[in-house]
A and B are shown apart, each in its own frame.
Chain A
Amino acid sequence: MYNSIVLVKQVPDTSNISGQVMKEDGTVNRAKLPAIFNYEDRVALELALQVKDRFGGTITVVTMGPPRASDVLRECLFMGANNAYLITDRKFAGADTLATSFVLAEAIKRIGNYDFVFAGRQAIDGDTAQVGPQTAEKLGIPQITYAEAILDVRDRTARVRRKIEGGYEILDATLPVLLTVVKDAVTPRPVSAKRLMAYKGAKSLLELEKLVEGNSLLYIDKLVHEYQGRSLYIPTLTADDLQIDLARCGIKGSPTKVYQVDSVVLGGAGPTRIENTGAGISSLIDDLLEDKILG
């Protein structure tokens, strides 16, 4: 039995970017884009589900984001996750990868009892691929990035195949370990109809608070209790809940400043033909030396 925590993120659907979506300063107007489940995180969840199918254990998914990010958590429950946590607080807004990984690591410590932490390689909105590795650093556990497959888990060691340029390598790591997963590792399973029907009403604390706001007959504590009883409660963790150093959270804890975003179109000059003769090859070597590719 191995327990997994999976880090997931709701991201703007950048495959549908149209003219109105880009702001003049080059940033993305998120409100104009549909929010989707970051695909590589879905792959990470599938890998976790396969560990669960093979060895047993539980899966807890965690996301940090605005209240509507609980959509992604519900989707995880439909696919087979056992528990879900929403980490949300205005104080977490504007976080770069440093601040994000700090909060995630604190939340993981709070949840505890895990053998694996899975994360997608990167999210399609930031493309940094830093949050997974930074989280592992802060947890003080080994990490294997670009994981493709878990070949075996024996005692307290996982054997993992990771993708490298032009091939792969196989690594052993002691548990607990954090893996970031590449998109072609496995194909995520579809949601289960039965789980969808069972968990469609799952709600986070914030969503329950919204219900209470509009109805004076409802009391939040009772409602939370009722949802917990039906396994439909998505616990919410805020800065207060985690009792963490606010200077390391959100925009305050984020040294990264975006200076400028440019749309760069890479152009090529077309193919060059090199004759397979001594003269042709020596001219190619000269060109490469001149471009500082060799030497």
Chain B
Amino acid sequence: MANFFVDNPDIEFHFKRCDLKEVVSQIEGGYTQSRDYPYAPVNYEDAMENYRRVLEVIGDLAANNISPRAASVDIDGATLLNGKVEYAAGTRDNLRELGQADLHGMILPRAYGGLHFPFTIYMMAVECISRADASLMNIFGLQDIGETIHKFGSQDQRNEFLPKFCTGEYTGAMALTEPDAGSDLQAVKLHAYQNDRGQWFLRGVKRFITNGNAEVLLVLARSEPGTRDGRGLSLFVCHGDATVKVRRIEHKLGIHGSPTCELQFNDTPAQLVGSRKFGLIKYVLDLMYRARMGVSAQSLGISQAAFEEALKYARARRQFGRPISEIPVVSNMLIEMRVMLEANRSLFYSAAKCVDDKEMLEFAIERLKEEKKPFGDENVRLKELTKVANILTPLTKYILSEAANKITYDALQIHGGTGYMKEFRVERLTRDARITNIYEGTSQLQIVAASGGVINDVLGEFFAGMERKDRRGSLTTLSNHLKEIRVLFLESLRYVLDKKDDAFQDVAARDLVDLYGYLYIGYLLLEEAEQEPRKVFIANRYIVNALASARKNAEGIRSETFGDLLHAEEILLTKK
């Protein structure tokens, strides 16, 4: 029987490879929970066995229940009738079954009914689900809303909201975007005010809110009258009751199963989450690590599905007396897709592990603070990890969402005219992929987010360590290629910095981030190739190709390709 976890040896490769010992022992606090919860693990091996078995259940549901419904979910879509949002019938079935399987609270603690899995394992689940139906990720993949309440909310808020998230009675939404505050969230206007008893209320409009019909909403609102920037914003949690009106849902190119709502808050009673004024600068930024990863998982799932479709079609379709997969041009396209897919998966699970490590340290420090113990060493490590997460999560979102577009594009191309028709799955995948490099921060913004760390060469020590390693056989050549890319990166960086031109630096950031991405992924693949002979092919194709691209990126900067920015108005014929 088909299974999206078991039939994907690459995801299993990462499952076997990921070392979550420290993370799991932190989560399980000495493996004592099995006394109260028969499903808690008794040691690390038992925990990994639990994760594997549960991922098999998810892979089974994804392949045999969710995937077959995806076409009807796409056709039916979510609808708005008399002010109430209805999911497509297939979406309702999917959510019911995921609830029966206890999968709505994968990362929340057991005390609230969750499974308390590491983030990395949850991401594997989201990848499998997205491969089956990308639009389902927009509901299933919002479990980090519960995590935000768990991290920053009060104990009362945890008790009020989390148990019902875990059973699936509540779904969540993050209400951040407004008509005039999209990429620029500092401009959020939605008004939060208090009555004389201290009760908070929300008034205003939010737009493009994924799953805005949810039972529980996290809302970013302006709580400090007279302010204009991010420091006047606080985070609130409220019920999606009658005071929250869904004014419309959007008619979108893809992810039809996910309702995208315009919401009007009419004096909605709300509770403050955490402290005032920290809404954007602390809580939303924290939520963004996981949200970016969620969309990355969605991109990866779509890419995997598109690759499978392309491969299946290319092997079945015969032209010129043979399957088109045997035509060199087509097999080259398939190899390119496969290499991109595996390279991306390596980056993705490395970033997921980084988020896990970071959160583990945050919890460890909280605990040490409570016990009034020193936490200096942990704090130093956390600072380092935060810097790395600040690069890896936007880098992953940028690279994986752009790749999802490229892979679905090529997969449709391999189908030829057939792929352009509604009857074939690749058509839907192509439409679904298109949002991934836009929402939760566009690619352009991910580059901005990553570029700070890139310009400060945050991973410099990691790369230097990798360069010192001895490599065997053919891997030496690849190692030398990466060394050359490193030189190209440092030269380009120097060129950009010496120029002392902000506009030039903003545009060159993309090339710099690309170069950094080649290096990081290149080294991940090189390490994998040391362990797994088949991965030598992946590393080889990726790194050889990366070197060629790196030369182009570097040359683009050195020759100031975009030096004509100053003349934009003349070029665009907009000069008066």
Contact = CB atoms under 8 A, between A and B. Distances in A.
B386 interface: no
B101 A193 contact: yes
Given A198-B39, A200-B49, A193 B61 contact: no
Contact of A193 (B1, B49, B115): B115
Contacts of B1: 36
B102 interface: yes
A233 to B, nearest CB: 14
A190 B39 contact: no
A196 B100 contact: no
A196 B100 CA distance: 12
Contacts of B385: none
A190 B61 contact: yes
B39 A191 contact: no
Q: Which of B41, B102, B115 has the most CB of A within 10 A?
A: B102
A191 B99 CA distance: 10
Interface stretch (B50-58, B388-396, B459-467, B532-540): B50-58
Interface in A194-235: 194-198, 200, 230-231
Contacts of A194: 39, 102, 115
B50 A191 contact: no
Contacts of A197: 38-41, 50, 53-54
A189 B39 contact: no
A196 B97 CA distance: 15
A137 B254 CA distance: 57
A192 interface: yes
A131 B450 CA distance: 66
Contact of A190 (B41, B49, B101): B101
B53 A190 contact: no
B124 to A, nearest CB: 14
A190 B100 contact: yes
A192 B101 contact: yes
Contacts of A200: 49-50, 53
B38 A193 contact: no
B99 to A, nearest CB: 10
A197 B117 CA distance: 12
Q: How large is the interface on B (under 10, 10 to 19, 20 to 34, 35 or more residues)?
A: 10 to 19
Interface string A229-261: 011000000000000000000000000000000
B101 A191 contact: yes
Contacts of A192: 100-102
Given A193-B102, A193-B103, A198 B38 contact: yes
Contacts of B102: 192-194
Interface string B32-71: 0000001111000000011001100100110001000000
A190 B50 CA distance: 16
Contact of B39 (A36, A195, A231): A195
Q: Which of B1, B57, B97, B101 has the most CB of A within 10 A?
A: B101
Interface residues of A, number: 14
A190 B57 contact: yes
A200 B38 CA distance: 11
Contacts of A231: 38
Contacts of A191: 57, 101
A231 B38 CA distance: 10
Nearest to A191: B57
A190 B102 CA distance: 10
Interface in B1-18: 1
A190 B54 contact: no
Contact of B60 (A36, A190, A198, A230): A190
Contacts of A195: 39
A191 B115 CA distance: 14
B97 A190 contact: yes
A200 B50 CA distance: 9
B54 A193 contact: yes
Nearest to B51: A197
Nearest to A79: B100
A76 B31 CA distance: 27
Interface string A169-194: 00000000000000000000111111
Nearest to B64: A190
Q: Which of A36, A191, A194, A200 has the most CB of B within 10 A?
A: A194
Interface in A111-162: none
B53 A196 contact: yes
A30 B1 CA distance: 17
B97 A193 contact: no
Contacts of B38: 197-198, 230-231
Contacts of B97: 189-190
A197 B34 CA distance: 11
Q: Which of B1, B39, B57, B97 has the most CB of A within 10 A?
A: B39
A189 B61 CA distance: 10
Nearest to B38: A198
Nearest to B39: A197
Contacts of B41: 197
Contacts of B40: 197
A59 to B, nearest CB: 15
B46 to A, nearest CB: 9
Nearest to A200: B53
Contacts of A189: 97, 100-101
Contacts of B61: 190
Contacts of A190: 57, 60-61, 65, 97, 100-101
B48 to A, nearest CB: 12
A199 to B, nearest CB: 8
Interface in B64-90: 65
A294 B102 CA distance: 57
Nearest to A230: B38
6 contacts: A190-B57, A196-B54, A197-B41, A197-B50, A200-B50, A231-B38
Given A190-B100, A193-B101, 11 more contacts: A189-B97, A190-B97, A192-B100, A192-B101, A192-B102, A194-B39, A194-B102, A195-B39, A197-B41, A197-B50, A231-B38
Interface of B: 1, 38-41, 49-50, 53-54, 57, 60-61, 65, 97, 100-103, 115
Interface of A: 36, 189-198, 200, 230-231
Across the A-B interface, the 5 shortest Cβ-Cβ residue pairs: A197-B39, A198-B38, A190-B101, A193-B102, A198-B39
